[in-house]
Amino acid sequence: MSEATSPSVLIVGASRGLGHAMAAEFAARGWRVLGTVRGEGTPLHALAVARPGQVEIENLEMTDHGQMLALRERLAGRGFEVAFVNAGVANDNPGATLADVSAEDFVRVMTVNVLGAMRAVEAFGGLVRPGGVIGVMSSGQGSIANNANGTNDVYRVSKAALNQAMASYAGRHADGPAMVLLAPGWIRTDMGGAGAPFGVEEAMPQIVDTLIAQRGRPGLRYLDRFGTPVPW
């Protein structure tokens, strides 16, 4: 595959963790990658050095709408087979209920996981080429149907709200490309922690396989990393 004809992916939040692993996996498959970061010296920067000409980096703070619109302007005229919004945060004390969490921490999580993520979908979704895929990193914890034990309240609320907002976006873009809310499973990253059962090396090829398999299949799906539907 020549560089000119190879497909391309935009990953919002690709500095480290799952976003960086996704960038590395797409790059290893010959895709051109544009990843966003905050700051310098991230693992994505190392990937860009290792794969010159294949990995491009832009800066984006998800909570800065002006930055996001400016990046959208810079990308005008570009097209991507896949645009994936990965960036997300958890609240400081995962055990906190909505009675316990500080309003500040609640707003921080919702601002990144819902407002920032959906503004990124709104800003960059239109750059996806016909037949392509808009992906958003949700979580199995966004499932209301599967919430039997009531842990991680704040994070769950944020991902359920993200799912709902994405359903609205899909409703407004019924003629749009494939759209995926991805539940990756519990993966060892800074957020997932050392006790998570799966490593990124194992999980990411499955995630990328599932994303690529959605090409040419319009409509919104909430899927785990194997492509199995997650109950809403």
CB of 10 to ligand NAP, least distance (A): 14
Nearer to ligand NAP, 1 or 46 (CB): 46
- Rounded to whole angstroms, how far apart are CA atoms 76 and 74? 6
Give the footprint of ligand NAP on this chain (CB under 6 A).
13, 15-19, 37-38, 60-63, 86-89, 112, 137, 139, 184, 186-187, 189-192, 196
CB of 68 to ligand NAP, least distance (A): 10
Strand 178-183 and strand 128-137: pairing? parallel
Nearer to ligand NAP, 175 or 190 (CB): 190
Nearer to ligand NAP, 48 or 137 (CB): 137
- Rounded to whole angstroms, how far apart are CA atoms 87 and 18? 9
- Rounded to whole angstroms, how far apart are CA atoms 189 and 4? 33
Nearer to ligand NAP, 88 or 135 (CB): 88
For residue 135, what are the β-bridge partners? 84, 180
Q: Strand, helix or coil at 9?
A: strand
For residue 222 the two structure tokens come to: 């909430």
- Measured CA distances, 43 to 11, 46, 83, 188, 226 (Å): 14, 5, 20, 16, 26
Residues 6+ apart with CB under 8 A from 62: 12, 13, 68, 87, 112, 116, 117, 119, 120
CB of 112 to ligand NAP, least distance (A): 5
CB of 66 to ligand NAP, least distance (A): 13
CB of 16 to ligand NAP, least distance (A): 5
Nearer to ligand NAP, 5 or 35 (CB): 35
